[in-house]
Structure 1
Amino acid sequence: MIKLDVNVRTIDDCLRLLDGRFNQMKILNIIIDSIDTSLLNIDNQYILSNLTAFCLTTRNPTQEYDNVIVPLLRRMENLETLMLFLLVGNRPEFIDDVHLSEEILIHMPRLEKFIFDITTIDDVVEID
């Protein structure tokens, strides 16, 4: 079993780990300080066929959930365990069970365990 526990600054650091160079990795637990639009031209299409467990924790809110996180998770079709601890900012809708099922979980037929804490933060303040 090849396992990696790592703290990284940006999503680019995470994508570098998942660009195919470490294709024997089975378990990845990653804490990311910031998830913004990727600044690098990194192959983000490589299917992570050997990855069976993935834990993603964000320290700061991200507005790139739909553009970065969802496509990344869809590459993990053989996951058996998925853990997400996310702060998502300024998204027009809450991330609910229907969204999770239709956008992510349907792409993971082997998934047995899913633990998540996804907080949606809306910075819009309405004044009456």
Structure 2
Amino acid sequence: GNILNNNNFSGICLIDSNYNIISGNTAIYNKECGIILFQGIYNTISGNTANNNEYGIFLYNNSYNTISGNTLIGNDECIVEVNCQGNVIQDNDCTLTPSLNYLPIILIISTTIVGVSVFIVYKNRKKFRKPQQDLEFL
């Protein structure tokens, strides 16, 4: 396999390619995609590692491809399909990098209150009923 890293676009890019087997490659720290396919059919992408890219595997206008057994760790998105049909995507190891927008927030607040009295003041409403009319007094 090949090792493709730190590229400005993608590690592996196939355009209008059909019936290919992409296997045993490592595509890491690429600016956009580890592996990208534009307009292809019946390709097999298996046993690759595409880590720490924006997209691990990106498919655009592809049909009937098999994407399986790939390791996709630390990407912003694991596998993305746009305008695709009939692709088989299974048994890929996908662990996303958490975005700062989705990180859990842990907030610890320590408050000490000394010498505070709380008074609750309220008006008591009473209703009196006369047989012919209702009157309300505060």
Q: Which has the larger radius of gyration?
A: 2
The structure carrying a bigger helix percent of its residues is 1
The structure carrying a bigger strand percent of its residues is 2
RCO greater where, 1 or 2, for CA within 8 Å and sep 6 or more? 1
